[in-house]
Structure 1
Amino acid sequence: MNPNFESKLMTLLDDHRSEIIELRRYLHEHPEVSFHEKNTAAFIKDYYSNLDCKMRDCGDGYGIVVDINPDKPGKKLAWRADFDGLAIQEDNNLPFKSQNPGVMHACGHDGHTAYLLVLAKCLIELKDEINGSIRIIHQPAEEVAPGGALSMIKDGALDGVDDIYGIHVMSTMPTGTVQLHSGPTQTGRANFDLTFTGKGGHASMPQLSNDAIVAGSYFVTELQTIVSRRLNPFDVGSVTIGSFDGAGSYNAIKGQVKLKGDVRVMNEDTRKKIRQQIEQIVNGVDATFGVESKLDYDDNYPVLINDKKLTENAEKWIKESNIPEVTTVKDSGVVNASEDFAYFAQKKPGCFFYVGCQPADGGDYPHHSPSFMMDEDCLIICAKSAASVISHYFA
């Protein structure tokens, strides 16, 4: 590779800095929820339509893979970004506020897509100087299980790929920081839907009923013992009931309640143990309260494990590049949220790292909230951090 390749790439990115923001703002105005990103996918494909690359649809959703130098010998590196929004009504007064009622880019995927589009365009312009090939993966449906990664993998998104990287912006991290972590990095996830069906009746005659609310309440209380009494204190695990649907009236005993739960773990043994404990508690509630349960349990996103060598290399390379906008490169520690990039990292050595996007006022703008916002200065940092890794990877 030309020793000036990195410098050329960084200069091109600086030249296109405003385009990254324009793309992000357009995407922010037009979000689409997971598995329904038809227009977003069309926008992405149109962006590449006149560029010298090979593009194809991938997976059973709206996934897109773009190959740069597809037939060139050497290593093949993949870089992934997601592009789905969330079913959230935006509560921000931005000039580019979401125009789609009830849908919002509340996790930064608009920014991920914008920086990667421009980075890919710049890489295509310099493709003759790259000693290998690059696969750009635009992934839909990260937010909703089963996620978009699995079907893309099945459809060959990782065929021939040696390694894969990805970036997520983080509103909890100061803008200017790049953070990485080696090994188990983000939690694995499971969700469950649970229905308890008893026998409804009049509140004045409880002996003639089987109260589903009492059964469900006992389940929620007993659930707390899984983490506190069944897991090793050094194992990471959480169990949350996010919905308890038992609405009724003053004088009626409910015959049925519906609950929704969330499980997070940092290793697969813990995942199995928590599921077994939940199933045992459900069976015990059935026997104790004379109710019938229906448990739909979905073990989905695995623990995201970052490859040690790729992570150490990325940290070293980004530091060596002395990117002007980057103030700190450090270890993030483990991150609570789950990510279906984990599926890619199960198949190929992978590294998923983080770029701070906390707005300049230092306020709290959490992901998945109606008030989520990012400092758009993070976008050039995403692009340049990726450029640093790519330049050194093919050096």
Structure 2
Amino acid sequence: MTKNTIADDTQTRIDYLINCRRTLHRCPEVGFEVPETCSLIERFLDELGIVHTQKYCKYSVVGYVGTRTDVPVIAVRADMDGLPVEEKTGLDYASEKAGFMHACGHDAHMAMLLGAARTLKPIEDSLPFRLKMIFQPAEESADSGARLMFENGVLDDVDYVLCQHVDGSLDSGCVGYAYGTVCSACTPIDITFHGKTAHATIPHKGHDAIAMMFKTYSGIQLMLSREIDPFENMVCSVGAVNGGVVHNVVCDKANMKISLRTFDVQVNDFVVDRVKLLAEHAAKELGGTVNYEAHMSAPAVVNDDFVVDCLKEAAEDIYGDNVRLVRPKMSSDDFSWFAANKPSVYYWLGIRNLSKWHETSLHNNDFMVDDDALLGGEKLLINTMYKLAKAIQ
């Protein structure tokens, strides 16, 4: 890639990226229900003269840049959904939807992909690759948007897939990458305990669902400390417990929600089965019953070494020594449904700027993205596609 092939009107590109991100940031939506976000993406693509479709999934958007048929098709995934979080950033472009926020940087992901499309569109006839833009809903959901789009054939014509995710633990101007398994599998577990009500002063006449739940909780902690290899990369976090309504009635229904993250399928299956057994035993011992649901919403993300090498080379062209080999993360991403089926790379773009605000983390209500990082992210997407195309040739 040379300056003769891409018009480098830096300020115009920066302004475009910031406008796209801030426009999208104001209207976060969650799950598959992202109609306003979808309409905005379609409007941006229409302005660029890019044909698009929603055929792979409701409120998804897919389009192409590049006209040649003798070149590799390289897809870039940008997730579209926000989170049910009340924004507390105080920004003048903060969320206009009460109770919802782009707290995971998906607004930045969409903006950088749009910026790359805008930059490449004028020279699409000469590109040594064809860019397939995949704007995907429901990355944060238990029901995966990526899985649905894959099942509907979104990768059928694709050779490689890229996914760039912002990272609040890396400074703006840095890139993180890793080989092999880079993100954990995610298995949500939902357990409902059923007992029998009684007056609080005669608890022996009832079957306490809360007691069943906390007996299970204690068993889980013992299992984690005594039945799992301490060197195993895994997390089993109880994120929600609910039961009872008033102080003077023995609770007859309680619910526990667990987030299980693992790198190894055998460990995942062991924990799922073991927690089920603990819950069943606790319920039976206290005279109740249990409903148990567990399903893997996303497998682990596994990078392809060849694609990582191309990404690393492309990043070093732009960021020099600020390209870092980082540890895998226990967070999950349904990009894994793409990575499991096509050679792919999932990497991290630094967006922390401590000279502007304190350090903020993904999924927090004060999460911030440094706009100064956006142009580098756009350039990195473009340069990685060029590196891939050249390496293939």
TM-score, structure 1 length as denominator?
Answer: 0.94
> Is 1:342 paired with 2:339?
no
Gaps of 5+ in 1: none
Task: List per-residue Cα deviations over 1:39-86 (Å, max 9, x = no partner).
Answer: 111111121124354421133321111112355212111111111111
Task: List per-residue Cα deviations over 1:221-247 (Å, max 9, x = no partner).
Answer: 101133222222222122111111124
Q: Secondary structure at the match of 1:280?
A: helix
- Which amino acid in the other structure matches residue 27 of structure 2? H
- C-alpha separation in 2, matches of 1:260 and 1:219: 12
> Is 1:172 paired with 2:188?
no
- Which amino acid in the other structure matches residue 262 of structure 1? S
Tell me which moved more, 124-133 or 225-234: 225-234
Alignment partner of 1:394 out of 377, 389, 392: 389
- Which amino acid in the other structure matches residue 322 of structure 1? I
Alignment partner of 2:267 out of 256, 266, 270: 270
Alignment partner of 2:380 out of 385, 388, 393: 385
- Which amino acid in the other structure matches residue 221 of structure 2? Q
Tell me the residue number matched to 1:23: 20
Q: Secondary structure at the match of 2:48?
A: coil
Tell me the residue number matched to 2:294: 297
- C-alpha separation in 2, matches of 1:315 and 1:22: 29
Alignment partner of 1:285 out of 282, 286, 297: 282
> Is 1:259 paired with 2:231?
no
- Which amino acid in the other structure matches residue 360 of structure 1? L
Report the Cα offset of residue 97 of structure 1: 1.0
List 4+ stretches of structure 1 deviating above 6 A: none
- Which amino acid in the other structure matches residue 332 of structure 1? V
Tell me the residue number matched to 2:318: 322
Q: Secondary structure at the match of 2:38?
A: helix
- C-alpha separation in 2, matches of 1:51 and 1:254: 59
Tell me the residue number matched to 1:371: 366
Report the Cα offset of residue 381 of structure 1: 1.7
- Taking every aligned residue pair, what percent have the same amino acid on both sides? 26
Contact kept? 1:197, 1:212, Cα under 8 Å: yes
- C-alpha separation in 1, matches of 2:272 and 2:215: 18
Tell me the residue number matched to 1:61: 58
Tell me the residue number matched to 1:197: 194
- C-alpha separation in 1, matches of 2:50 and 2:361: 37
- Which amino acid in the other structure matches residue 364 of structure 1? E
Give RMSD over aligned pairs. 1.8
Report the Cα offset of residue 184 of structure 1: 0.5
> Is 1:332 paired with 2:326?
yes
- Which amino acid in the other structure matches residue 300 of structure 1? S
Q: Secondary structure at the match of 1:300?
A: coil
Report the Cα offset of residue 144 of structure 1: 0.7
Gaps of 5+ in 2: none
- Which amino acid in the other structure matches residue 18 of structure 2? I
What are the within-5 Å matches in structure 2 for residues 1-395 of structure 1? 4=2, 8-9=5-6, 11-12=8-9, 15-69=12-66, 71-319=68-316, 321-323=317-319, 328-361=322-355, 363-395=358-390
